Amino acid sequence: MDLKQFRYFVTVVNEGTISAAAEKLHMTQPPLSTQLKLLEEEAGCLLFERGPRSIRLTDAGKMLYERAVTLLHMSSLLKEELREYRHGSHGTLRLGIVSSVNSTLFCQWFRGFHESHPDIQFELSEDNTYGLLDKLRNGLIELAIVRTPFPSGDFQCIPLKKEAILAAGHKHLFQNPDISHKISPSSDGKISLEALSALPLILYRRWEPVLKEAFHSRNLSLEPLCKNDDARTTAFWADAGLGVGILPESAVSLFRNPETVWKTIDDEELTSTITLIHGKNSYLSAAAKAFGEYLRELYGVSGS
């Protein structure tokens, strides 16, 4: 098997028919059909179920398609990295970032970095922390900006900013007489876990184990109104007055409703550190190295 066969195979799947794929590849159908047969012979199993008007992937074909797309993407990235190495160009930074950071904070970083490195382009991959860890392991991105906690064994980690975890929602939710006496009276006050347990909570799933442990330590039960997979969803629901969202500090820039207020959760263990990570033994482009150095200088962090 080689990359040319994979490119033929992926194109046939994407186009839906061999004739359309042949046109896309600027070749005739017979040699393309021959390459597909050779690929099936090397695989030792059928990859397609051929119909009169279209083809359909077998289970083996679906697996090969996923791997082939990844390999072709990796090949493209490798060519770009070699081109950068040969010519010393600034290139493109392939950066993963979680949604709770990709807001005002990241825009501040980007503005400062872009001023000193105007020729570097960004290719952003937005995902949750665990999705970005997988992309780093598979070489789809060079760097990732994630949040603790996460399993860090495979990565070089550069902690940037430690943040409190906040409870955010419409003012009236915090004025409930059953909980108001458990909230600090100051305008930027704290809220106890006991008070939180009486509110309709909205959280994205990666915070559930952390909150559940904190609640259980106080003999409280955690029964959220809504669990989701993204900080933005949590912020949108809280902004709409549907409940109290649990979010890290920098995510407050996601709020647009003036009725939305936030309180720091009164638990010293409930914090999250924004962290820049990359594979311990992975190659970093000049663009990635420059961005890492910029963030280290910005936050006064030493290390390689």
**Amino acid 267: pLDDT:** 92
Tokens 């195979």, residue located:
9
Judge whether residue 45 has pLDDT over 60: yes
Q: Where are the domains of the chain?
A: 3-84, 90-161+273-299, 162-271
Domain spanning 3-84 has what CATH number?
1.10.10.10
Judge whether residue 88 has pLDDT over 50: no
Averaged pLDDT, 159-163: 94
Which range, 10-14, 17-21, 53-57, 236-240, is most confident? 236-240
**Amino acid 187: pLDDT:** 47
Averaged pLDDT, 190-219: 92
The CATH superfamily of 162-271 is Periplasmic binding protein-like II (3.40.190.10)
**Amino acid 141: pLDDT:** 93
The CATH superfamily of 90-161+273-299 is Periplasmic binding protein-like II (3.40.190.10)
Token readout for 235 is 């912020």
pLDDT band at 303 (very low <50, low <70, confident <90, very high): low
Judge whether residue 215 has pLDDT over 50: yes
Please state the separation of Cα 91 from the chain's center in Å.
22
**Amino acid 75: pLDDT:** 85
Judge whether residue 193 has pLDDT over 80: yes
pLDDT band at 48 (very low <50, low <70, confident <90, very high): confident
Averaged pLDDT, 163-191: 78
φ, ψ for residue 37, nearest 5 deg: -65, -40
Averaged pLDDT, 106-133: 91
Q: 269, 216 in Cβ contact below 8 A?
A: no
Vertex 211, ends 164 and 126: CA angle to 5°? 65
Comparing 176 with 251, the larger pLDDT belongs to: 251
Comparing 1 with 250, the larger pLDDT belongs to: 250
Judge whether residue 178 has pLDDT over 70: no
Q: 246, 234 in Cβ contact below 8 A?
A: yes
Same fold, 3-84 and 90-161+273-299: no
pLDDT band at 265 (very low <50, low <70, confident <90, very high): very high
Q: What is the mean pLDDT of the chain?
A: 88
Residue type (1 letter), 5: Q
Token readout for 214 is 């904190």
**Amino acid 188: pLDDT:** 53
Averaged pLDDT, 68-89: 74
